[in-house]
Each structure stands twice: as structure tokens, then as C-alpha cells.
């Protein structure tokens, strides 16, 4: 662990523990809450070494910044996800209208949002390989 | 100077420097000027139009 990233590391550990506590208080078991907190801490500790962020220890708890290439990639991935969500929403609207059901709308919405998140991360990975 | 040193100097990731070297990513004018200054060389020795 880098000593100059201590404010970042400590803040992320506190955040992870708080999120673990939130999951515990909202009904998850102690073990799953601890697992979530542990995974988050591991991800936060990995992030400075991931090559995804430029590291600026002088900014304290916000030491990790997206540089301009990462920003371009994230913007493109977000555009791709937005287009997919809009197209799927339109298709779901037409489908539900055609067969006359509205009760499944929430199920479709969940699937569409999950598809959007999936497209975002897949686009992000693909663009990182090609750009 | 290594790619990591240059990346640290101009405040980007090493992956960004690699992408610029491979001509897969076109940097902004600001970043291009910062890279030129960090390398202590002339702009047209680092960047050119094809």
C-alpha cells in the first residue's frame, strides 16, 4: 500500500465498511455484509494499480482521477448504453402495446436496465482494448 | 524517460501514453503540449499530421 495514498485508502475502507453496515441493517446476513465490504475494500485497493485512473496523491481522498482517454472511453460506453436502453425501451413499449399487457412492465424495465449496465461495461472493456 | 515517468509528469495513466504512441488515441491540444514540455522537445518532433 502506498503511504502517500493513506487518505484515499482510509476513506475507502470507511466507505466500504459503511456500505457493509448498510447491507447488514437492511436485512443481509453478517457474513454477506462482511463479504460485500471485503470485496469493496479489495476493489478500492486495486483501483490505483489498475491503470484505469491517474493517481494524484496531492488531492487526498479524491486521489484517483479519470484522464482524458478514460473520459473519452467512458463517454462512448455511456452513449452505447443509452442507445441500447432507448431501443429496448421502444421495443418493449411496442411489444406490451401489441399484446395488451402492462403488468410485466417492471420486469422488462429491470431487464432493460441490466442490459444497459452490461452494454456499458462491455463497451468500456472493448474500447480499452482498441483505443 | 520511461512511459510511467512521462505519465506521472503529465498526469495521465501509462495506458494513455501507450495508446498515444500506438496512434490509437489522439490527445487534446493541452495534453499534447504538456507531453512536449515534459519531453523538453519541439511539438513537431513528437506529433505530426499524416
The per-residue pLDDT for A130 is 85
Mean pLDDT score across all residues of chain A: 90
Residue range B6-23, pLDDT digits in tens? 998 999 999 999 999 998
Work out how many domains chain A is built from and give that number. 2
The per-residue pLDDT for A1 is 66
Q: Mark which of A34, A65, A96 sits at the end of a domain.
A: A65
The distance of Cα A55 from the centroid of its chain, to the nearest Å, equals: 19
pTM of this prediction? 0.78
Is residue A43 located within the same domain as residue A73? no
Is residue A77 located within the same domain as residue A61? no
Residue range A68-125, pLDDT digits in tens? 999 999 999 999 999 999 999 998 888 887 777 766 777 888 899 999 999 999 999 9
> Dihedral through CA B1, CA B3, CA B9, CA B10, nearest 10?
130
Could you tell me if B28 lies within 8 Å of chain A, comparing CB atoms?
Answer: yes
Distance from CA of B29 to the nearest CA of A (A): 11
**Residues in chain A closer than 8 A to B11 (CB atoms):** 54, 56, 65, 67
* CB–CB contact A130 B27 (8 Å): no
* CB–CB contact A54 B12 (8 Å): yes
State ipTM: 0.83
Q: Is-contact A77 A19, C-beta < 8 A? A: no
Q: Is the dihedral of CA B16, B21, B26, B30 positive or negative?
A: positive
- Determine the Cα–Cα distance for residues B1 and A29; give it in Å rounded to an integer: 51
The per-residue pLDDT for A52 is 86
Measured CB to CB, residues of chain A less than 8 Å from chain B are 51-54, 56, 65, 67-70, 72, 128, 130-131
Is residue A49 located within the same domain as residue A9? yes
Average pLDDT over residues B28-47: 93
Domains of chain B: 3-46 (1.10.260.40)
User: Number of helices and strands (H, E) in chain B?
Assistant: 4, 0
Could you tell me if B31 lies within 8 Å of chain A, comparing CB atoms?
Answer: yes
Q: Tell me which residue range forms the domain holding A45.
A: 3-65
Give phi and psi for B8, each to the nearest 5: -60, -40
Amino acid at each position: 500500500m502506498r503511504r502517500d495514498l493513506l487518505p484515499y485508502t482510509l476513506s475507502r475502507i470507511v466507505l466500504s465498511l459503511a456500505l457493509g453496515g448498510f447491507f447488514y441493517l437492511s436485512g443481509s446476513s453478517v457474513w454477506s455484509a462482511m463479504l460485500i465490504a471485503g470485496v469493496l475494500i479489495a476493489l478500492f485497493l486495486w483501483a490505483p494499480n489498475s491503470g484505469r485512473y491517474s493517481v494524484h496523491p496531492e488531492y487526498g481522498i479524491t486521489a484517483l482521477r479519470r484522464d482524458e482517454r478514460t473520459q473519452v472511453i467512458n463517454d462512448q460506453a455511456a452513449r452505447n448504453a443509452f442507445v441500447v436502453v432507448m431501443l429496448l425501451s421502444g421495443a418493449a413499449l411496442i411489444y406490451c402495446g401489441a399484446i395488451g399487457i402492462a403488468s410485466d412492465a417492471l420486469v422488462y424495465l429491470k431487464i432493460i436496465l441490466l442490459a444497459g449496465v452490461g452494454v456499458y461495461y462491455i463497451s468500456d472493456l472493448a474500447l480499452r482494448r482498441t483505443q | 524517460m520511461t512511459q510511467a515517468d512521462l505519465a506521472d509528469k503529465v498526469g495521465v495513466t501509462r495506458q494513455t501514453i501507450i495508446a498515444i504512441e500506438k496512434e490509437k488515441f489522439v490527445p487534446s491540444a493541452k495534453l499534447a503540449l504538456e507531453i512536449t514540455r515534459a519531453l523538453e522537445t519541439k511539438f513537431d518532433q513528437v506529433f505530426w499530421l499524416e
